[in-house]
Amino acid sequence: MQINWICSQLGAREHYAIPRALSTSGKLSRLYTEFWAGAHLRQLFTMQIPSRLAPVRSLSARYHEDLNSAPVTSWNFRALYWELAVRYLSQWPSTNNHYHRFIDIGRAFSVAVRDSLRLNREISDKTVFFGYDTGALETFEWLKNGSTQCVLGQMDPSRVEVQLVREEEQRWPGWQPQSTDVPEEYFRRREREWELADQILVNSEFTKRALIEQGVDLEKIVIIPLCYEKDHRVEVASRTQTIHTPLRVLWLGQVILRKGIQYLIEAARLLAREKIHFDVVGPIGISTDAVASAPSNMTFHGRASRDQVGFWYRNADLFVLPTISDGFGLTQLEAMAHGLPVIATTNCGDVVSHGIDGMIVQSRDATDLAGAIYSYRSEPQLLREHRSAALTKAGKFSLTSLANNLTRLEHELLSKCRR
């Protein structure tokens, strides 16, 4: 039986990987998203606009050429209002907490998708509906009146992640400018989506364990890793490591407690006498005092645009992701595609094979992290071997692999329907 999928997602998460994978296999019936930048809009965004509206230009990335021929439904004017309201308008509902805004936008989007499905009558007993958490509840509630299979994409470990971050805030007082304040309504909305979903798609064993801890039925959860499609223009890191040149260690991403920056700073301090330099690239979300506490072998470079990211990968020897909690951590694959070994923790996607293309270290352990980094400094041959293996590993997380995993998920759904 030919199954058609309808996908629903806010934003360009994973570069539209799920709908793209389904489209390549001819299974995508429709993509619902809040904003879609067609050809005319992309041309408009290249024009000069007032600087205070510049963030809206980022909406031009809400598009992918792989979906040129796919049926896409969006609500562009409404999405522009959401974007401007979140950034600039004090009258935005629940403006005191950005999680309330997630709820408001998720609800409005889910209702719009539900009403469109109801109007266009695209649903049949051969339809699978896929939506991401926080933006699928109202659609799921309507669909569960019929026979449609509902698949939820869970982006992070929810309560478990928040608890881990709160523990870090207590361990490192004053490092995070604002404490993590998540309203109970946010969790309840997600938990109701878990109840309604026939299958919950997570990207890592870490998130799976976290959801089981929160009471989700094990039989509902399926692990499907993210994918990374390497751009043909990507240049592989080519630095020659010798005993006379410093090992360049790269952090790329949000500089926040959840990502483990505090432990990298401590590791850098432990390695202060070695020929090792740490480049921290990304928007800084820790206090000025916390940044100032870093040793002299660490440089904070701030936010980098997409066209600048390649420079940092090419000029690094090693990539670090000492994360406290990540649903997956796509930068692992991006770094490997540039030929960089990765040091990560178990609190993210299972990408690194320890001792083959990188190292796995204990989360929240600066000494373990420093030891793994030093091993690459002391053994240049190990670095060369892991570089080659990293390139091979990145190729295994392809769009084709994702499409195959979704086909297996589809078979599981069909087998459940027959029981």
Give the span between the Cα atoms of 175 and 213, in whole angstroms. Answer: 28
Q: What confidence score (pLDDT) does residue 217 get?
A: 96
DSSP H or E run through 72? strand 72-73
Give the span between the Cα atoms of 215 and 211, in whole angstroms. Answer: 7
In the chain, what are the domain boundaries? 4-227+398-418, 247-394
Q: What confidence score (pLDDT) does residue 79 get?
A: 82
Q: Residue 247 contacts by C-beta under 8 Å, 6 or more apart in sequence?
A: 241, 274, 275, 276, 277, 317, 318, 373, 376, 377, 383
Q: Residue 333 contacts by C-beta under 8 Å, 6 or more apart in sequence?
A: 226, 227, 228, 351, 394, 397
Show pLDDT as tens, one digit a residue, over the chain (419 residues): 678 999 999 999 999 999 999 999 999 999 999 999 877 676 666 665 565 555 556 677 789 999 999 999 999 888 877 666 655 554 445 445 678 888 989 999 999 999 999 998 878 778 999 999 999 999 999 998 877 899 999 999 999 999 999 999 999 999 998 888 899 999 999 999 999 999 999 999 999 999 999 999 999 999 999 999 876 556 666 666 666 789 999 999 999 999 999 999 999 999 999 999 999 999 999 999 999 999 999 999 999 988 889 999 999 999 999 999 999 999 999 999 999 999 999 999 999 999 999 999 999 999 999 999 999 999 999 999 999 999 999 999 999 999 999 999 988 887 766 55
Count Cβ neighbours within 10 Å for each residue of 68-82 and write b for 16 or more, e otherwise. Answer: eebebbbbbeebeeb
Confirm if 224 and 406 have CB atoms less than 8 A apart.
Answer: yes
Q: What confidence score (pLDDT) does residue 123 get?
A: 81
Q: Within 10 A of 45 (CB to CB), how many other CB atoms are there?
A: 15
Which ranges constitute the DSSP H helices of 11-97? 17-24, 39-45, 76-88
Confirm if 42 and 63 have CB atoms less than 8 A apart.
Answer: yes
Cα–chain center distance at 297: 29
- Specify the CATH number of the domain 247-394: 3.40.50.2000
The pairing of beta strand 342-344 with beta strand 358-360: parallel
Fold exhibited by the domain 4-227+398-418: Rossmann fold (3.40.50)
Give the span between the Cα atoms of 242 and 63, in whole angstroms. Answer: 43
Q: Do domains 4-227+398-418 and 247-394 have the same CATH topology?
A: yes
Q: What confidence score (pLDDT) does residue 346 get?
A: 97
Is this model's pTM higher than 0.85 or not?
Answer: yes
Residue closest to 118 by CA, chosen among 126, 106, 108, 110: 110
Confirm if 207 and 154 have CB atoms less than 8 A apart.
Answer: yes
The token pair that represents 231 in the structure block: 């751009």
Which ranges constitute the DSSP H helices of 12-67? 17-24, 39-45
